[in-house]
Amino acid sequence: MKKAASPHQYSFFQNVEDYFDKAAAHTKYPKGLLDQIKACNSVYQMRFPIKIEDRVEVIEAYRVQHSQHKVPCKGGIRYSDMVNQDEVMALAALMTYKCSIVDVPFGGAKGGIKINPKNYTPDQLERITRRYTAELIRKNFIGPGIDVPAPDYGTGEREMSWILDTYVAFNPGQVEAYGCVTGKPVSAGGVRGRKEATGRGVFFGIRELCSIAEDMKPLGLTTGIAGKRVAVQGLGNVGYHSALFFWEAGATLVGLSEIDCALYNSKGLDLSDVMKWKEEHKTLLTYPKAKVFKNAAALLEFDCDILVPAALENVITGDNAPNVKAKIIAEGANGPVTPDAEEILLKKGAVIIPDMYLNAGGVTVSYFEWLKNLSHVRFGRMDKRFTENTNIKMVESIENMTGKSMSAGERRAITHGADEVDLVNSGLEETMISSFHDIRNALLAHKKVKDHRTAAFIVSINKVASSYMNLGIWP
């Protein structure tokens, strides 16, 4: 593993390449093909001026398209003062592998603007986002059939609306224009369930793992989520929603952390109370119902069964991995575990469920949003009422035959036709469960492979390689 001259001690892109190479050794593809799969096809580094009060700031930003073996390319846009080319390349590469694992027919991409959004007003952020979008349009780096951004660290629905509005203004009359970006508010062409999708996917993936007795036994754990001790790093989009779904399923949230501190309570934290405190006090440092650690990274070493790093990359390293006590490391964030840390954790017998599968719920539901934008119709609009009417007739026939009537609650549960959010969540659940088993089956099939990440990479390499081979370039 090589070190990088970046704010991080580790080269994130090199880490991804190392993981890729480890898996590629278990495949038989020609070197040229593997090199093409690994390469970042297009790297667009830009600088543009923005007027901030009475001065001009030169903004550094990126968009990387890792692969066009399927188009459009797809990947989030990150706003963070730690953004650098190495990081964006790594995240774009992970998107290629992620999309293939969950059968989303896109190539991988990622974008980043090197700013701390907390240092700018909403007006200034809007100007930066719109100018960034204009730069993407100028170089043909955005479009429903070219490259479709989405939210990532430091961005959300608001930024996606600005991107959409800028794109539409530059492309009048383009009927599929709303498919140029996903993660939009529902009122601006978004899909219900997208905001929670990544966290929900993290939960579905870990729930599936925990449902398999033979996988739980070596970890000394029982099956099921209820009662499992969970610690979550980062209470943003991915962290908060992951914590929420574990909490709702009866897990004990023993640890939660934000950028300035970590909270621990062996009896469990009340997530809504913690979030209310965070909202009202803008910090958790003063939260009274937990032991507070001023060193936020302490959370990674808490005594728990499931650890969900959901903030940033390279947080579990060779230095702290020996102290990690969790038996399951659930990668909500991209790249939270470095290769040297992974080696240590695997030796300790931990299971790491990798980012490229586990946080793919976001891109899966983004795919549904894109489909909705291209079809111009809300999911469920055509068949919800038909299903409901058919079910009502069926229930009435059963009631007539048996002479018994159902309660209003029972009747509603049985007759209910699927809304958009029901279909989105069901598509996500199916995707996360079936992809988990693809990875698990690869793990079982390759006797020399001992970890889920390598198995996930093998699944992904097989799929991307076959796409390239279908193009007829490789024999």
Residue 183 C-beta: closest distance to ligand NAD, Å: 7
For residues 243 and 225, give the distance between their C-alpha atoms in angstroms, rounded to a whole number: 12
**Given the complex with ligand NAD, which of 266 and 283 has the nearer CB atom?**
283
Q: What is the DSSP string of 337-377?
A: B-HHHHHHHHHTT-EEE-HHHHTTHHHHHHHHHHHHHHHTS
Q: What is the DSSP string of 100-155?
A: HHTT---EEEEEEE---GGGS-HHHHHHHHHHHHHHHHHTT--BTTTEEEEE-TT-
Query: Which residue ranges make up the site for ligand NAD (CB under 6 A)?
Result: 76, 151-154, 198, 233-239, 257-259, 296, 310-312, 332-334, 359, 362
**Given the complex with ligand NAD, which of 198 and 317 has the nearer CB atom?**
198
Tokens of 467: 């796409």
Residue type, 52: I
**Given the complex with ligand NAD, which of 189 and 234 has the nearer CB atom?**
234
Sequence-distant (≥ 6) Cβ neighbours of residue 56 within 8 angstroms: 49, 50
Q: Are 307 and 330 in contact (CB under 8 A)?
A: yes
Residue 236 C-beta: closest distance to ligand NAD, Å: 2
For residues 467 and 461, give the distance between their C-alpha atoms in angstroms, rounded to a whole number: 10
Sequence-distant (≥ 6) Cβ neighbours of residue 353 within 8 angstroms: 205, 206, 209, 328, 329, 330, 331, 452
**Given the complex with ligand NAD, which of 238 and 465 has the nearer CB atom?**
238
**Given the complex with ligand NAD, which of 219 and 259 has the nearer CB atom?**
259
Residue 78 C-beta: closest distance to ligand NAD, Å: 6
For residues 283 and 290, give the distance between their C-alpha atoms in angstroms, rounded to a whole number: 14
Give the helix/strand (H/E) hosting 420.
Answer: helix 420-445
Give the helix/strand (H/E) hosting 27.
Answer: none
For residues 209 and 380, give the distance between their C-alpha atoms in angstroms, rounded to a whole number: 30
Q: What φ, ψ does residue 411 adopt, rounded to 5°?
A: -60, -45
Is 70 among the catalytic positions?
Answer: no
Residue type, 218: P
**Given the complex with ligand NAD, which of 93 and 221 has the nearer CB atom?**
93
Residue 196 C-beta: closest distance to ligand NAD, Å: 9
Residue 260 C-beta: closest distance to ligand NAD, Å: 8
Number of continuous H segments (helices) and E segments (strands) in the chain: 16, 12
Sequence-distant (≥ 6) Cβ neighbours of residue 331 within 8 angstroms: 309, 337, 352, 353, 354, 355, 358, 359
Taken in order 287, 292, 294, 297, is the CA torsion positive or negative? negative
Q: Which residue is nearest to ligand NAD (CB)?
A: 236
**Given the complex with ligand NAD, which of 164 and 333 has the nearer CB atom?**
333
Residue 239 C-beta: closest distance to ligand NAD, Å: 6
State the catalytic residue, choosing from 70, 74, 110, 384.
110
**Given the complex with ligand NAD, which of 128 and 465 has the nearer CB atom?**
128
Residue 377 C-beta: closest distance to ligand NAD, Å: 24
Residue 141 C-beta: closest distance to ligand NAD, Å: 19
For residues 279 and 261, give the distance between their C-alpha atoms in angstroms, rounded to a whole number: 15
Write out the catalytic residue numbers.
110
